[in-house]
Amino acid sequence: MVKRVLKAGRKRFWHFCLKNACFILPYPERGTRARLLKNSSLSAYVLVLIIFQLYVYHLSPQILGFATNIIVSDLYQETNEKRIEAGVAPLEVDSRLEQAALAKAQDMFSKDYWAHYAPDGSTTPWQFIISAGYTYKFAGENLARGFDTSVSVVEAWMASPSHRANLLADCYQNIGIAVVNGDLLGKETTLVVQMFGTLQPVVVPETSEPVSSAPSSTLPSDVAGTSGSPAETPAAAEPEPEPASVVGPSEVAISQPAALTDVVVSPLARVARVVNPVSSPKVIPLGFGFMLMGLFALDELAMLRGGLTREEMRRTGENIAHVSLLGLLMVLVLLTKTGGVL
Amino acid sequence: MMRKDWLLITHVVVLLSILVGALWAFTYFSGAALQQFCVIVVAVVAHIVWGAIYHSLSNRLTVGLLLEYILIGALVLLLFSWTLFS
């Protein structure tokens, strides 16, 4: 009984395979390609991709979801590890800088900008630091968005000379990081704000003359292309630090989106991110590229086995040309960086 | 036969030039999404134009064949824009 069922199943399977083989296997003797490579099929792929892209990015942006694996404690650890490797003292976490970083991230989401300074000129990074009650002598800021992991964020900063200079500057003593999810420039984004600082020392004047100590603040763009520490680079324009009593930490506006102290995702969510073509923009191009390259390779194999010349066989494009273009696509997709630093 | 060999060699050299040129330009414009997209557009156009020239030289150019090159190019552009702008 079982044998008969198995035999029938096997027979049906082979019947199905033979019946549908024309979809993936070419017929050189008939001068045709696999059905999945015919112009009608290629047109259908193009149409489906256009509709899908329009739907995902214009008609239904709300289906995008967060699934990053950025952990604030990992960012602190990674940063300090890089500093120790470079022979620079590690930084101490300061809650006021954390609040400043959070306020900065919320300001970027609420005003919808991706920059150190608000485009309308209403806020600067240093205002957030001062508002959080941190009277700085030195201050700096690194930004990142669109990354999946803590390691990739720090690696991107280290790969940029200006961000690296900020991250490894020996003039800083404190650090504060905020990781915030929200809608930025029409796209759901995970923002990482990293604030550095050194407190203004309390000077007790021994003489009658006042001691002046101008604060210095640094953004990655200020140190681009230089090897000096941020302290050596004068800030273009920054506010004079006001007394810490002007705005206390409690007055820092905390509104949605909220900071994510630990953006940890479950293993299931990680798998979902890889499988979900929307949240992982490389999955569909790579999968599609592999499929088409495989079909073209099968076509070429069938031609070679047929022992016929191209002229004798059919009038189709050169497989080598299409495979090379698809190969280029896949390499470029792999090279594309989806995150950005500022 | 000699002409066919030369044509095949030229074909491979042109395809390799398009690949290497596109790769170099892509890494040169690293971080600038719009310029990188322009690079792939140029590579796709070069692929279509050279495909037409090659098949024309080997007396095999047809409308269907040209359409095949255009469709493959369009697919590559759509798939690449998916990654670049998502």
- pLDDT one-digit tens code per residue, B61-77: 889 889 999 999 999 99
Q: Smallest Cα–Cα separation from A108: which of A73, A143, A76, A140? A: A143
Q: Which of B43, B75, B79 sits opposite A42 (nearest CB)?
A: B75
pLDDT of B10 above 80 = yes
Q: Does B46 touch chain A (CB under 8 A)?
A: no
Q: Check A39 against B64: CB less than 8 A apart.
A: yes
Boundaries of domain holding B68: 2-85
What pTM was computed for the model? 0.58
Q: Which of B22, B54, B86 sits opposite A328 (nearest CB)?
A: B22
- Residue B83 confidence (pLDDT): 81
A59 CB burial (10 A radius; 0-12, 13-18, 19+) = exposed
Nearest CA in chain B to A57: B86
Give how many domains chain B has, as a whole number.
Answer: 1
Pair A100, A128: CB distance under 8 Å: yes
- Residue A100 confidence (pLDDT): 93
pLDDT in single tens digits along all 342 residues of chain A:
778 888 888 877 766 666 666 666 766 556 667 788 888 999 999 999 898 888 766 665 444 445 566 888 889 999 999 999 999 999 999 999 999 999 999 999 888 888 888 888 888 888 899 999 998 888 999 998 877 778 888 888 888 888 898 899 999 999 999 988 887 776 777 889 999 999 887 765 555 444 445 566 666 754 433 333 333 333 333 433 333 322 223 333 333 334 444 444 445 555 544 445 445 677 888 888 888 998 888 887 877 776 555 555 555 567 888 889 999 999 988 887 666 667
Which residues lie below 8 Å from residue A125, measured CB to CB, with a gap of 6+? Answer: A100, A104, A116, A117, A139, A141, A195, A217, A219
